[in-house]
Copies of this chain bind each other. A is one copy, B any other.
Amino acid sequence: MPEVLFSHDPDRPMARQAVPGHNRFHPDVPPAATARPGQEFRIECREWTDGQIGDNDSADDVRNVDLDHSHMLSGPVRVEGAEPGDLLVVDILDIGPIPQETSEKGPVCGQGWGYSGIFAKVNGGGFLTDYYPDAYKAVWDFKGQVATSRHVPGVEYTGITHPGLMGVAPSQELLERWNRRERALIATDPERVPPLALPPLASGALAGAAEGDLFDRIAAEGARTVPPRENGGNHDIKNLTRGSRILYPVHVSGALLSVGDLHFSQGDGEINFCGAIEMGGFIDLHVDVIKGGMESYGVHRNPVFQPGRVAPQYSEYLTFIGVGVDHRDDTNLFLDATEAYRNACLNAISYLKKWGYTDEQAYLILGTSPIEGRIGGVVDVPNACCAVYLPTEIFTDDIRPGAGGPVYKDRGQVAVTS
């Protein structure tokens, strides 16, 4: 086990950890630790909401979650010698749930269990929030690398464990650009529910060891952690798993790497927003630096990565297609891959319901299982085409189409709100 550069007491909120983390991206968040190029180290991570969600049968905690406070990020780790224009090379050596056995308060999220939630529309919603505006939850049990849920019986999957969110600090100039362009977007429909984007917000801000004026400035300017941006961030790419190597463009001296929002398993798109199986846990990293790599490799904007070799293998899929039309009122959008993927997901839910899964169970299966979301065609005007590949091997019943037709079973329901 490599040296722990950022530790985590499962019984305390992030603000009261020995070295607290942060939840805003800003060039001036003080480093929590320093690593040398070539070093291996462990980072312990809190679950992204800082422990607001419990292992129980009510979705009230998901409905009431305070999102101003997320995501809990561990770090930043300063990497010696990394300077703007370099590429920071990050190898994911290992990743997993919290290995500690006990906690004063009983197992916290990541100690044998995780959860997945459908957020209420008033609280940001998810990919299908216009169809499913209320809050729901499923709790998942971990057995080795396999997840099962009492709230979604009949499925069992080998998780592609990964960090939902990892990234480096933006430069001041890049941060300002983000704030400018996101505010311009919000201005196009400032009253929208859910909002189009999330501007800087002092409420709930964490900035590591920053205090006084520095804290105030970070809280006032710091970028919210929800979207992925040029610095990496909330990619929610399930294949950033064990064995992956990521190359991040460096924007500030020391790179300032942060990580959090660990997922036990997730489908492409993380469609129910809090759609992965969320957990606290650890991630082991190795870092290195390619001097001047942004220019020499032409990696100017977003990170680039090489996936690892150990993602779980499935070989039988049932694939649902969608095209970029809003079928509710038959509005034809123009090469809209987002809508195409939404329709593919809705088509999958329609199918799964015939086997007894509720809408919410089916939605959560798509959010948490290792589905592949693929771009089909994005040039055949006006309709984009996307597809969701659902591995049929995750179901304990055989749900493939066949002579007999679907077999409907009562499968209960996910956790609902009171």
Seen from chain A, the residues whose Cβ lies within 8 Å of a Cβ on chain B are: 1-3, 40, 87, 91-94, 99-101, 124, 126-127, 143-146, 158, 177, 180-182, 184-185, 194-198, 226-230, 234-237, 239, 242-243, 247, 268-273, 275, 284, 286, 290, 293, 296-323, 325, 327, 330-338, 341-344, 347, 350-354, 372-387, 389, 393, 398, 400-401, 405-406
Contact = CB atoms under 8 A, between A and B. Distances in A.
A300 B350 contact: yes
A381 B243 CA distance: 28
B379 A271 contact: yes
Given A144-B286, A237-B374, 17 more contacts: A3-B101, A158-B309, A184-B332, A185-B382, A197-B332, A197-B334, A229-B383, A234-B377, A235-B321, A235-B376, A236-B376, A236-B385, A268-B374, A269-B376, A270-B377, A270-B380, A337-B337
Contacts of A343: 301-302
Given A350-B300, A354-B297, A226 B270 contact: no
Contacts of A227: 323, 380-383
15 contacts: A91-B144, A127-B378, A184-B332, A226-B381, A227-B323, A237-B385, A301-B322, A302-B347, A303-B321, A305-B318, A309-B312, A315-B393, A335-B338, A336-B336, A337-B338
Contacts of A269: 375-379
Contacts of A325: 181, 229
A49 to B, nearest CB: 15
Contact of A338 (B143, B286, B298, B336): B336
Contacts of A338: 335-338, 378, 384
Contacts of A372: 374
Contact of A236 (B236, B305, B380): B380
A314 to B, nearest CB: 6
Q: Which of A146, A307, A333, A379 gathers most chain B CB within 10 Å? A: A379
